[in-house]
């Protein structure tokens, strides 16, 4: 492990990669600040740029954007009650109240320190847990991978935002779209209708850029509003000793919780920050302060969302299973680079694994150093009008998607999926399950069919092997619990309706 760490440090400290970390975290902070384009959309839009980079630099850049956006999203949440990305919604509850009471500086300071602590603790956990997980996963065969992919898709369906039924619908669409192109085992063309551009299937970059990038641009265009003015004055971003003492426990608990949730399929920034807020409220001596300016309500969730963004790399880099949508995009970037993540990645490509790990430490240090002194500069970014931003983002997207295969067909695909993404947002269908199912679909299909070939057509193979059986038990539990929860909610809603309303 020490050798690996040293390799990683030498990779991450090369001048080029230092530059990519810096560009990544700065870009992440900027998009975190700007409401509209979230980290998912930005990573989707930047996928073509990573073509020109080597695999390590590409992932270093994208990872920097991911955890950088977690820092940046806090600024607008605290100052304007306007979360720049979804994971910062929870920070608005107490952060904005603190800003109203004249404590915007300490709130931002604590958020930055919490994010830093969460990020570093999570990277430590990654260093310890990832090699162990990779060793266990070496023994995995197609049945285990099929079960894991199924679990990954199902957890995103059940734990993601929005209605479970709609998420399931989107996952089914994603699985179907993933089957377009050449059959992975027999080589038969499926649903290509003679179109040569479809022979290799729908391009992942075009689908992701369309659903997230163009869909987001069109949605912003429809709802473009004038930028809000920052009213709260920011003075003294350094928190007091008392603030630090009050937040220490929340930062520790948030980091741990964020780390654990990040590793789980379906977990991610939003769930970890919500869970941390709930925990802090429960352990607080005076829960009534939450929502009125409790510093722990900022410290815990901010530590948790940053910790989860680092730990979510564990399942991706050791099992080859992206646990959430942002990581699905990074998985796509790795595939584009010809790197298939899995248990062998740490041994086959140590410079990539350890280089990304070391870059995370450097990135978090850079973010802490940049965040506090530059808050004022980042706030000024809010003056950029949405209309200008979306115009440039659209052209970059169109040219960017063309650059992937130098095929105009992909521009049509990105436009079609963009319109679909916009319509989905209007009808409250989440694109996340679709993209994750689209990414994991080929792996799930291949492993399912290989398992059936291995067993001579008997599905018993999935339950006779302890690991795949264990994973399928979790799958069954998730389904049963969520169905039971939905039934309970419906029954209680029906009971509420039956209760007579008091006459006035």
Residues that bind another protein (CB under 8 A): 49, 51-52, 163, 165-166, 168-169, 171-173, 175-176, 179, 183, 185-186, 188, 190-191, 218, 221-224, 385-388, 390-392, 394-396, 398-400, 402-403, 406, 408, 411-412, 415, 418-419, 422, 425-429, 441, 445, 448-449, 452-453, 456-459
Please say which residue, 304 or 401, places its beta carbon nearer to another protein: 401
CA end-to-end span of the chain, whole Å? Answer: 72
Of 210, 192, 191, residue with least CA distance to 416: 210
Q: Which is nearer to another protein, 136 or 395 (CB)?
A: 395
Burial class (CB in 10 A: 0-12, 13-18, 19+), 491: exposed
Angstrom distances, CA of residue 296 to CA of 80, 86, 121, 398 = 19, 19, 18, 43
Nearer to another protein, 219 or 331 (CB): 219
Q: How far is the CB of 335 from another protein (least distance, A)?
A: 19
Q: How far is the CB of 95 from another protein (least distance, A)?
A: 24
Matching residue, tokens 């949605």: 219
Crossing angle of helices 296-311 and 89-100, in 10° steps, is 150
| 3-class secondary structure, 495 | helix
Supply the minimum distance, in Å, between the C-beta of residue 477 and another protein.
Answer: 20
Residue 164 or residue 357: which is nearer to another protein going by CB? Answer: 164
DSSP code per residue over 378-416: HHHGGGS-HHHHHHHHHHHHHHHHHHHHT-HHHHHHHHH
For the chain, the maximum distance between any two Cα atoms, rounded to a whole number of angstroms, is 76
Q: Are 176 and 168 in contact (CB under 8 A)?
A: no
Among residues 8 and 48, whose Cβ is nearest to another protein? 48
How far apart (Å, rounded) are the C-alpha atoms in residues 72 and 76? 8
We find the least distance from the C-beta atom of residue 90 to another protein, in angstroms, to be 21
Between residues 290 and 448, which has the closer beta carbon with respect to another protein? 448
Least distance (Å) between residue 137 CB and another protein = 24
Minimum CB–partner distance for residue 102 and another protein (Å): 33
Rounded to a whole number of angstroms, the minimum distance from the CB of residue 183 to another protein is 4
Pick 13 or 402: Cβ nearer another protein: 402
Integer Cα distance of 120 and 89 in angstroms: 23
Q: Which 8-state DSSP code applies to residue 182?
A: E
């Amino acid at each position: 492990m020490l050798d690996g760490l040293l390799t990683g440090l030498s990779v991450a400290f090369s001048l080029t990669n230092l530059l990519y970390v810096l560009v990544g975290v700065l870009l992440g902070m900027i998009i975190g600040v700007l409401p509209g384009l979230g980290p998912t959309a930005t990573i989707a839009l930047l996928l073509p740029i990573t073509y020109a980079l080597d695999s390590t630099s590409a992932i270093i850049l994208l990872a920097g954007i991911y955890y950088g956006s977690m820092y940046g999203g806090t600024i607008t949440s605290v100052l304007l009650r306007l979360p720049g990305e979804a994971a910062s919604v929870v920070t608005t509850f107490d952060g904005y109240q603190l800003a109203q009471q004249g404590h915007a500086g300490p709130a931002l300071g604590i958020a930055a320190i919490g994010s830093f602590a969460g990020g570093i603790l999570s990277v430590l956990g990654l260093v310890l847990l990832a090699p162990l997980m990779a060793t266990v996963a070496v023994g995995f065969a197609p049945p285990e991978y099929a079960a894991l992919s199924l679990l990954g898709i199902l957890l995103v369906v059940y734990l993601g935002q929005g209605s479970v039924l709609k998420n399931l619908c989107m996952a089914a669409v994603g699985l179907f779209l993933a089957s377009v192109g050449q059959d992975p085992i027999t080589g038969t063309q499926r649903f290509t209708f003679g179109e040569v551009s479809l022979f290799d299937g729908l391009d992942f970059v075009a689908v992701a850029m369309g659903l997230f990038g163009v869909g987001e641009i069109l949605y912003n265009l429809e709802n473009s509003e004038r930028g809000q003015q920052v009213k709260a004055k920011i003075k003294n971003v350094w928190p007091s000793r008392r603030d630090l003492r009050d937040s220490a426990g929340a930062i520790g608990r948030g980091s741990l919780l964020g780390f654990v949730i990040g590793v789980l399929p379906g977990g991610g920034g939003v769930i970890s920050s919500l869970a941390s807020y709930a925990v802090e409220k429960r352990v607080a001596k005076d829960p009534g302060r939450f929502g009125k300016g409790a510093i722990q309500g900022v410290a815990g969730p901010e530590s948790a969302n940053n910790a989860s963004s680092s730990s979510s790399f564990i399942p991706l880099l050791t099992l080859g299973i992206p646990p959430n949508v942002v990581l699905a995009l990074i998985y796509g970037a790795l595939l584009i680079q010809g790197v298939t993540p899995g248990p062998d990645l740490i041994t086959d490509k140590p410079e990539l694994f350890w280089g990304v790990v070391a870059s995370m430490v450097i990135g978090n240090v850079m973010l802490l150093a940049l965040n506090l002194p530059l808050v004022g500069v980042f706030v000024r970014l809010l003056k950029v009008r949405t209309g200008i931003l979306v115009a440039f983002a659209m052209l970059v997207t169109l040219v960017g998607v063309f650059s992937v295969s130098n095929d105009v067909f992909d521009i049509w695909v990105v436009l079609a999926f963009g319109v679909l993404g916009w319509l989905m947002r209007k009808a409250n269908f989440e694109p996340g399950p679709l993209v994750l199912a689209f990414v994991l679909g080929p792996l799930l299909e291949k492993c399912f069919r290989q398992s059936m070939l291995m067993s001579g057509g008997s599905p018993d193979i999935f339950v006779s092997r302890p690991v795949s059986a264990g994973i399928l038990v979790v799958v069954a539990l998730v389904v049963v619990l969520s169905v039971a929860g939905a039934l309970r909610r419906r029954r209680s809603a029906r009971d509420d309706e039956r209760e007579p309303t008091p006459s006035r």
